Structure 1
Amino acid sequence: MSRLIPPVEHKQNTRVGAPEWREAAQAKMRKARRLTNRCGQEAVTMWQPKDSVWDPHVARHLRRAAYIQPWRFQVEMIKGGSTLEKPPPGEGVTLWRSKMKPPAWHARLPLPLERDARAQQTAELVHAHARGARLTAARLDHAQQQINGQVRLLLRQREATDHRLSEVRKGLLINQQSVKLRGYRPKSEKVPDKADSMLTWEKEELKNMKRKMEKDMEKSEAMLKTLASCRNTLAFCGKERLQAVDLMNKPLDKVLKLAGRHSWVNLSRAQTPSTLGQKTPPPDPLGTYPPECATALYEAKRLLMESKDTLQEMAKNEEDIREQQQQIRDHVCASLAQKMRETTELKEKMNMTLGLMRGTIHRCTKFNQEMYITRGLIKGPLSKNHLETREKLDRPLVRVYQRHVGTQLSEAARLAQGTDKLQRHISHVEKNLEELLATQEKLNCSLHCKKTGHDVDYNVVRLRLRQQHPHVYYQQAQALVNDWDPPTPPPRK
């Protein structure tokens, strides 16, 4: 068995070379060794990622185990005592057979396919920018569509509000017609009543409605101008964004669908508790979502919410005014109908009073005529030839009786007194007849006035019902007010 022969120990004094010469050679060798180790390590390190450099504070024989330890699977305890192995998180290829997951390799030197890799990265960057620009354009286009829909709804509501405003204005014209027509009643029927108060109240209420609806029309007009300006801004921004996606053939609504969102202003659908789609990116002046697009979308969202409130308010006001106007019409027509019923009742009572008065006048006239006949009989005949014997005061019996003192007969005095009393009674009856006839004339005049007032109120109600028909437009009612002038009835004596 061979044995190692220990090297011969040369004593210091047996060396021939000088110590300086030996130290200089050893220094050169140490320097060459350090340079060799450094260059070899740097040559290997340049092909390794930064995190793959071994820790210098770990022992050399333990560096590999410490470097590979994070790659191994992690063991987790599960309820029940069993275990579960999971790969470590992060990027990289999972090696299930060896139960390891090395991190992704990132070299620090350009590889032979560096040009192709950089071209592919550039293409991916361009495609990502185009996709982002297309998604922003889809957002702008969808917001523009929602603005257009809101504009259409606002225009439709403006048409309904304008129609209701024309109905209110037509109601004012009808009120003016009613007041003008009721002005042709007789003077005795022009006593202010509740119907006049109702017409005045209707006029004030209609004026308030008119002012309210005119404010709604002005507000909606301003909102339409703002929406049109926002729509133009969205169209301009969308056109600018679409300049980068002319070569990408894909519908914009499909882009929104792929992004997981159907509305970027959150108004056309109900809010969900958890949003599954992509979140809106922060504005970037150099990116695909510049601040002007963000401002346009925010303005569109604000205007949509504001216009939605405006639409609801306008619809509510239009419905309330329609119901209020109908109630006012019913109240006015009911008051006029009540006035007509009261006038009819008074007419019937006047007719009964006139009938009773007519009978009384006939009886008084007949009685007066009989009194005239009686007075004629009391006065006696107009000629002496018609005197009878019993009517003469110089007949024998009367002459004999008048010879005695104090025996004056009262025949002539009584006849004179009776004639005078009868004449006074006839005068009184004639005076009563004159009063009856005058009162009858007044009642006839009042009855005629009542009939005229009833006819006027009836014509007012009929005019209101005819003019309130939906087929009668504001221009027709206005022409009727301007051209219609009923003749004034002649004054009665």
Structure 2
Amino acid sequence: MPVLLPPAERCQDTRVGAPAWCEAAQAVTHQAHLATDRCGQEAVTMWQSADSVRDPHVARHLSRAAYIQPWRFRVEMLQGGTTVEKPPPGEGVTLWKSKMKTPAWRTRLPLPLFRDALALQTAEVAQAHARGARLTAARLSRAQQQINEQLRLLQRQREATDHRLSDVRKGVLLNRQSVQLRGYRPEPEKVPDKADSMLTWEKEELRSMKRKMEKDMEKSETLLKSLASCRDTLGFYCKERLQAVELMNQPLDKVLEQAGHHSCVDLSRVPTPRPRGQKTPPPDPLGTYTPECSAALNEAKRLLMESKETLAEMAKNESDVREQQQQISDRVCATLAQKIRETSELKERMNLSLGLMRGTIHRCAKFNQEMYITCGLIKGPLSESHLETREKLNRPLVRVYQRHVGTQLPEASRLAQGTDQLQRHILHMEKNLKELLAERGKLSWSHNCKKIAQEVDHSVIRLRQRQRHPRVCYQELRAQLLLEDGGPRTQAPARSKATGVPK
């Protein structure tokens, strides 16, 4: 028969199992839920970015709104009462329909296509490096071309300056030849005049111009060496950058046009109001635009600006020296021509004086000869045929003494007085004639000196005009001057000590 169990006492806990057993089961379940939530959260977190992780202090139904809030466009009120929507700061894709700007996705674990993504990123980095290297090489190449063009301009200007310096040196030698040639004048014509002062002034001015041109040549030579060194540096860096892009067949000028850079060195072009090209990146030791390239381009810019200023200064100096030298030479030739005209006037006056003196000398000599004839007639006849009266030549000569009776005779006294007066006139006339002859000799000597001086000055002008021609080079003129320096110097003719007339 069945056994009836005594009814259990009624209590609040209707569970049959023991509380410890139930608590143990609940603890195990709670631990399992915690592990599930944690693992799931960690699994999702590993696939999400760090800023997308839900804040544990925010409710679950509010976490999405708090997460999306930074993405939305902000509405700002302007002063006029209008509103404007501005995107949030930071990188991201702008969604215009929903007015949201999603930030860039950054995951903690590699995606399933991680290898392909890395390959694409590597390819992008390589392409970016190649593009940067190509752009840097294009900039360096363009700078090298401009430096080469500046070198050619500087070389041409140096040739023009050197030609002008050769003309200045030729002018110095011409001045020296002119001074030496004017040294062949006679002594009376070597009195310092304005022509000598002009030649001295020309020598000082030519020396000053010579020093100025030599300084320009030295400065341009230093700048030429700097430009050549900068060109070689730019070429080396360009060749080094082209090693990374040697397989890309895109012209470097096209790269500069795409980048919006028409020139990286020339600062004279008009800047565009809105630059369309890429900005010059900052120097990066690990990138394509290294500090060395930046320093080379900056040096190229500085040298280009300095060379432009130097070229302008050299061209101005060359033009000024050419005009100044031409004016100085014309002034010297004009002074010598004026001296020739003055010498010609003096020579004509001396020639006229010589003609007048020659007539006076002839008249004096004729009068002196007639006086000699008169003196002979006073002394008496020489033969019987000269006698007009019947005088006897064998009569004794009457000697005139104070105690003699013949002193009272008028004929002898008058004859003696006339003869003595005639002798005094003859001696005075001879003295005047000698003085006239001496003065004529001096005047003739001075006339010949003026003639020689005029010929010398005319030869100096012809020499300067002939040697100033561009076909006469400096070396030829210097060799000619060296040959002339070794020859004997022509001396003026000797003069007589008594009369001063040339022997």
Q: Given the two structures, how large is their TM-score scaled by the length of structure 2?
A: 0.86
**Matching residue of 1:130:** 130
Give CA-to-partner distance per residue, 1:350-403, whole Å, 9 cap, x none: 1121122122222222322332233233333224664445989xxxxxxxxxxx
Distance of aligned partners of 1:252 and 1:12 in 2 relative to their CA distance in 1, 3 Å threshold: same
The answer to whether structure 1 residue 195 and structure 2 residue 187 are counterparts is no
**Matching residue of 1:398:** none
Structure 1 residue runs without a partner (length 5+)? 1-9, 393-404
The answer to whether structure 1 residue 245 and structure 2 residue 273 are counterparts is no
Give CA-to-partner distance per residue, 1:271-294, whole Å, 9 cap, x none: 667755333222222211123222
Deviates further, 98-107 or 315-324: 98-107
The answer to whether structure 1 residue 471 and structure 2 residue 471 are counterparts is yes
Q: Give the aligned CA root-mean-square deviation in angstroms.
A: 2.9
Distance of aligned partners of 1:191 and 1:22 in 2 relative to their CA distance in 1, 3 Å threshold: same
Distance of aligned partners of 1:152 and 1:442 in 2 relative to their CA distance in 1, 3 Å threshold: same
**Matching residue of 2:178:** 178
In the TM superposition, residue 226 of structure 1 has moved relative to its aligned partner by 2.4
**Matching residue of 1:261:** 261
Confirm or deny: 8 A CA contact 2:184 2:490 kept in the other structure.
Answer: yes
The answer to whether structure 1 residue 333 and structure 2 residue 333 are counterparts is yes
Residue identity in the other structure for 2:362:
H
In the TM superposition, residue 28 of structure 1 has moved relative to its aligned partner by 2.0
The answer to whether structure 1 residue 117 and structure 2 residue 117 are counterparts is yes
Q: 1: CA distance between counterparts of 2:151 and 2:31? A: 84
In the TM superposition, residue 427 of structure 1 has moved relative to its aligned partner by 1.1
The answer to whether structure 1 residue 355 and structure 2 residue 355 are counterparts is yes
In the TM superposition, residue 406 of structure 1 has moved relative to its aligned partner by 12
**Matching residue of 1:153:** 153
In the TM superposition, residue 247 of structure 1 has moved relative to its aligned partner by 1.5
In the TM superposition, residue 260 of structure 1 has moved relative to its aligned partner by 1.3
The within-5 A match list for 1:411-430 is 411-430=411-430
The within-5 A match list for 1:46-445 is 46-77=46-77, 81-85=81-85, 88=88, 90-267=90-267, 269-270=269-270, 276-383=276-383, 386-389=386-389, 408-445=408-445
Distance of aligned partners of 1:100 and 1:298 in 2 relative to their CA distance in 1, 3 Å threshold: closer
Deviates further, 424-433 or 256-265: 256-265
Q: 2: CA distance between counterparts of 1:274 and 1:94? A: 25
Report percent identity of matched pairs: 74
In the TM superposition, residue 138 of structure 1 has moved relative to its aligned partner by 0.8
Give CA-to-partner distance per residue, 1:404-428, whole Å, 9 cap, x none: x999342311221111101101110
Residue identity in the other structure for 1:310:
T
Deviates further, 167-176 or 418-427: 167-176
Give CA-to-partner distance per residue, 1:417-444, whole Å, 9 cap, x none: 1111011011101110111111112111
Q: Given the two structures, how large is their TM-score scaled by the length of structure 1?
A: 0.87
Q: 2: CA distance between counterparts of 1:221 and 1:407? A: 110
Residue identity in the other structure for 1:236:
F
Residue identity in the other structure for 2:196:
D
Q: Secondary structure at the match of 1:75?
A: strand
Residue identity in the other structure for 1:214:
E
Aligned residues: 474
The answer to whether structure 1 residue 488 and structure 2 residue 490 are counterparts is yes
Q: Secondary structure at the match of 1:46?
A: helix
Q: 2: CA distance between counterparts of 1:305 and 1:97? A: 53
Q: Secondary structure at the match of 2:75?
A: strand
Q: Secondary structure at the match of 2:250?
A: coil
In the TM superposition, residue 256 of structure 1 has moved relative to its aligned partner by 1.2
Q: Secondary structure at the match of 2:47?
A: coil
Give CA-to-partner distance per residue, 1:304-327, whole Å, 9 cap, x none: 223223323322222222222222
Q: 2: CA distance between counterparts of 1:472 and 1:409? A: 92
Q: 2: CA distance between counterparts of 1:87 and 1:306? A: 48
Q: 2: CA distance between counterparts of 1:441 and 1:115? A: 122
Confirm or deny: 8 A CA contact 2:230 2:296 kept in the other structure.
Answer: yes
Q: 2: CA distance between counterparts of 1:342 and 1:354? A: 18
In the TM superposition, residue 258 of structure 1 has moved relative to its aligned partner by 1.2
Q: 2: CA distance between counterparts of 1:204 and 1:83? A: 81
In the TM superposition, residue 115 of structure 1 has moved relative to its aligned partner by 1.6
